[in-house]
Structure 1
Amino acid sequence: MLNEVLKKNPSGPKAEEALFRIGEIHHFSLNDSTRALRVFQEVRQMNPQGPFGYKAQKYIAEIAEFGLKDYDQAIIEYQNLKNFYKKDFSNGDHQYRIASIYYKKQNYEKALREIGNPFRKLS
């Protein structure tokens, strides 16, 4: 059904949503992270500022981190979320994910830098 929508509407809002839903099916139902990643990248390329651009980028970052365990790429993707969508969404969550990845990589200095010094304001 979603493929039919794509055939009739190869671009535009209906295509973006159909493609996004196909990505969700691959990611959540079929556990096909690689295919889901490609689909979400295509959604983001179609219309980065569209209604599915942010969610697609967030899934890209999460798949890189949790599905593929490609931590270096995950940092890049979370950084893209922070930079590209900074006006629309809170970046604290993305900052935390980046710090968490540095911690997983045992790069504690960078993890602390990402989190910042919470005691700085208490002085």
Structure 2
Amino acid sequence: MNQTSPNLRNNVFGWLIILCLSLVGCKEDMKDLYQRAVKAYQTEDYQQAADLFEIILQKYPDQNLSLKARFELGNIYFYKLKQPENALKHLQELYAKSEPGTYALESLKLIGYIYDKSLNDCLKGVEAYRLILEQYASAVDAAEYRYNIGECYFKQHDYQQAMREFQALVDAFPDNSRAPMAGFQIANSYALLEQWEEAISRYQELLLLDTLTPQLRAEIMLELAFCYERVELFDLALKLYQELRQMDPAVAMLDTAVIDRKIERAKEALKDSQKAPAAVDWKKRLK
């Protein structure tokens, strides 16, 4: 039976010791770098913190701690160093490398927010929001992301798609605090499409809700009054404007100067609409 020579056994044992020591040294070095990065962050030396986290990624890309380092980099670059593109690079890499869970979810949240609110590219933000709804709907306020999607299409003047998204929110979460605002945006979309009758109907339905905030109620009344003007219901428009003018400014913020101008405009329009047609002198006209 062949036996391993003492020299070979000693060499193997020696290499195992070196490997173990190197792994211990690797973990210690990585841990030290991470602690230094955290300390730099705590002392508000954000660039130094970012540099140290970057070193961790370069030296230990496959270690679990590198995921946390990448997440910290996404936050530092966006919130502290005001570098949204660098933040996106790390967050997108984090999402790609993470198993489903906290890191993947948190990276998607910030990716959507950066595109939507910082880079004004809400359609790319919508991609992240939809992934959140597909993969983590039970772990988030799904109505918030549905509303963000609707708002994106509204800002893009794609009112038909905006209405579909807002209606999906209202149907799925009728009792959510965002449902009235989604309904308001549906009515606004009809108004912007100059579908006045449908807009009026929607605004009137919203005013029947007892869950409206005073501010939202005032804004609905203001838009409804404008729609009344567009269909020449000047008496109804005037009544709403006058009600708005009597509102307590501490309850609903309104520009009273604007309301006053609208009242005068509605009064003039109502007066003109009530004038009898001028009599025609047919004999003179036939000459």
TM-score by length of 2: 0.39
State the distance in 2 between where 1:12 and 1:45 align.
15
Contact 1:48 1:54 survives alignment (8 Å): no
Q: Which has the larger radius of gyration?
A: 2
> For residue 92 of structure 1, what is the amino acid of its counterpart?
A
Per the TM alignment, residue 87 of structure 1 is displaced from its structure 2 partner at its CA by 3.8
Q: Which residue of 2 aligns with 1:68?
A: 119
State the distance in 2 between where 1:12 and 1:101 align.
38
Per the TM alignment, residue 69 of structure 1 is displaced from its structure 2 partner at its CA by 1.2
1:27-38 to 2 correspondence within 5 Å?
A: 27-38=78-89
Secondary structure class of the residue paired with 1:106: coil
**2:135 corresponds to 1:80:** no
Q: Which residue of 2 aligns with 1:6?
A: 57
Per the TM alignment, residue 48 of structure 1 is displaced from its structure 2 partner at its CA by 4.2
1:42-121 to 2 correspondence within 5 Å?
A: 42-116=93-167, 118=170
Per the TM alignment, residue 16 of structure 1 is displaced from its structure 2 partner at its CA by 0.9
Contact 1:96 1:114 survives alignment (8 Å): yes
> For residue 139 of structure 2, what is the amino acid of its counterpart?
D
State the distance in 1 between where 2:139 and 2:94 align.
18
Deviates more, 1:18-27 or 1:40-49: 40-49
Q: 1:18 aligns with which of 56, 59, 69?
A: 69
State the distance in 1 between where 2:143 and 2:70 align.
28
Q: How many residues align?
A: 121
CA deviation map 1:42-88 (0-9, x unaligned):
11111141321101011111111112111221222211111122343
> For residue 68 of structure 1, what is the amino acid of its counterpart?
L
> For residue 86 of structure 1, what is the amino acid of its counterpart?
A
Which consecutive residues of structure 1, in runs of 5 or more, have no partner in the other structure?
none
State the distance in 2 between where 1:85 and 1:3 align.
29
> For residue 75 of structure 1, what is the amino acid of its counterpart?
V
State the distance in 2 between where 1:61 and 1:48 align.
19
Per the TM alignment, residue 8 of structure 1 is displaced from its structure 2 partner at its CA by 5.3
Provide closer, same or farther for how the CA distance between residues 83 and 12 of structure 1 changes in structure 2, counting only shifts above 3 A: farther
> For residue 85 of structure 1, what is the amino acid of its counterpart?
Y
State the distance in 2 between where 1:72 and 1:62 align.
11
State the distance in 2 between where 1:49 and 1:60 align.
16
Secondary structure class of the residue paired with 1:42: helix
> For residue 31 of structure 1, what is the amino acid of its counterpart?
K
State the distance in 1 between where 2:86 and 2:137 align.
27
Higher relative contact order, chain-length normalized (CA < 8 Å, sep 6+): 1
State the distance in 2 between where 1:53 and 1:107 align.
30
State the distance in 1 between where 2:164 and 2:99 align.
29
Using the aligned pairs only, state the percent identity: 23
